[in-house]
Chains A and B, each alone.
Chain A
C-alpha cells in the first residue's frame, strides 16, 4: 500500500529551480533512503512534502499522502495531518526544540493538539522512556539546554513518533551526533517505525545501508539514480553515485553480500 507518492515535484526560487521533477513512492513499512551531497535539495524535498517550505519558495507537482493531495491543501487541513499522519525529525537537534519549554510539555503537546491521548503528560514520559532517555520522569521536566545533543534528538524522535504517523521523515537525524549515539538512535528509529513509511535523508552511505531497503540518489536537485540499496551500491550507474561510493569506505561487502556498516550492538 502506497503511503507517500510524490510526482514531478519542483521547488523554485524566482527562475532558479532548486528541486527538479522529483518523483518517489514509499509504501507502508518501507524504508527509503535519500542521499546526495550537501545542497542537492534533500531537505527542500522533505520540507515540500511536509508543506513547510519557506514562503519565498514556489512549489509545483503532486504530493499524495494516503491518497490525499497535499499540495494546495488549505493550511488548516494540512496542519491536522502534520504531527499526526506525517511527522519529521530535523537535521539540527540543538536548535529544533523550544529553549524555554520543558521537553515533556513539548512532547505532550503533539498529543494534546491532535487529541490522541487521554493523559498526554503521562504518555510523554512513556515516550521518553521508549526512546531510552534515562530517568524519563526527570527528563520530562528538563529544559533542552540541560540535555545533550543525543538526548535532544531522542526527544525529537519521541515527538515524531507520539501519534504513530504513517509517514516519518528523518532529515539527517544523526549527522550531528557521535558514532555510538548515532547507532543507538538508528536502532530506535528502526524499532519504532515498523508499520510506517520512512524517508531517511543522509549523506552517510553506511547509515543508508543499515536502515534502508531502497535508496534514491539526489544530485543538483534531481533524482539521478534509484533502486534497491544493494543494487545501487554494488553497481552504481550515475557518475556522482560512483564517486560517492569511491570516496566512502564502503566498497567491501560482508559474507552475506550486505554492505559493511557501522556496527551497533
Chain B
C-alpha cells in the first residue's frame, strides 16, 4: 500500500519534470526571438542584443531551463517580457479564479449526473429513464459558450437576477462572489453534467446486472437501497476515470467561459498573453495547466485504490 503510493508519487514527479522540459523546449523552438518580438521590428541590433542579455535568452538552452525551473520551484516564474511585471503572483491570482470556476462546475456536474444517471439506469425500461437519457444526449451537444450565452440572456439580461460577468474575490464580498460564480459555473457544469450523466447511467446499468446486487436484494434490501449500499461504490470506478478526463476538458472549457463572463482566470490570462506574444508568461501558464492535468491523473489513481480494495495489494 505505502509502496504503491510511493511508486505513484514517483511517477507523478517524473512526469511533471518531463512535462516542464517539454513545455520549455516547445516555447524555445517557436520561431521569433523574444527580445525582437518585445521591441518590435524597428529596434536596433544593439538594443536587441542588450534586451536579449537582460532576458537571459542569449545563454545556452540548458542554463535557461534550469534557471527557469529553479525559479518556478520557489514560485518565481520570471518577469514578463512585455510588461516586465513578475509573473508568479499574477499566475497565483488567476489560478485561484479558475480553480473556483472548475471546482464549482465539477460539483454541479456531479450533483446533476449521479442522481440523474442512477435514476435513468434504474428506470431504463420506463419512460422517465428514457426521457433523462434523451435530455442528457441533447445536453452533450451544447457547447459551453452557447450555454453561457443562453444563461446570461435569461438570468442576467431578462430577469436581472445575477450579474452577467465580472469577478468579486471571495474574501472581499462572499455573497457577491457566489452570485458572480453561479452563471459561469453553470455554463461549464451543465454540459459536463450531461456528459457525465450518460457515463453514470451506463456504469450503474452494468452494476445493476452484477450478481452481488442480486445477492443484496436476496438479503432483503429494496432495489434503491441495494444500489446505494452495494452498487454506487463499484460503479464509481469507471465514473472516476471519466471524471479525470473531464477535469482536463473543464480546464479547456474554462478558457472559453472566462472569456464569455469576463473572469480574470488562467484561461483569459493565457489568451491575453498569447495575443501579446508574452512568451515567458505563456510558458508559465502552460506549465501550470499541464501540472494540473497530471495532478488530476495522480489523484484519480489514488481514488481508484481508495474505492476498490482489489487494487490495493499490487
Contact = CB atoms under 8 A, between A and B. Distances in A.
A114 B220 contact: yes
Interface of B is mostly: helix
A214 to B, nearest CB: 24
Given A99-B234, A100-B308, A145-B310, A82 B210 contact: no
Given A56-B125, A100-B234, A145-B310, A90 B214 contact: yes
A143 B222 contact: no
Given A75-B222, A82-B219, A100 B307 contact: yes
Given A97-B215, A98-B234, A84 B310 contact: no
B31 interface: no
Contacts, number: 72
Contacts of B211: 90, 92, 95-96
B27 interface: no
Interface residues of A, number: 31
Contacts of A212: none
Given A55-B125, A99-B310, A100-B307, A110 B219 contact: yes
Contacts of A83: 218-220
Given A52-B217, A90-B215, A143-B309, A100 B233 contact: yes
B220 A82 contact: yes
Interface centre among B125, B220, B234 (most CB of A within 10 A): B220
Contacts of A156: 215
A88 interface: yes
A52 B210 contact: no
A176 interface: no
Interface string A9-51: 0000000000000000000000000000000000000000010
Interface in B186-237: 210-212, 214-223, 229-230, 233-234
Interface of B: 125, 210-212, 214-223, 229-230, 233-234, 307-310
Interface of A: 50, 52, 55-56, 75-76, 79-84, 87-88, 90, 92, 95-101, 109-110, 113-114, 143, 145, 156, 159
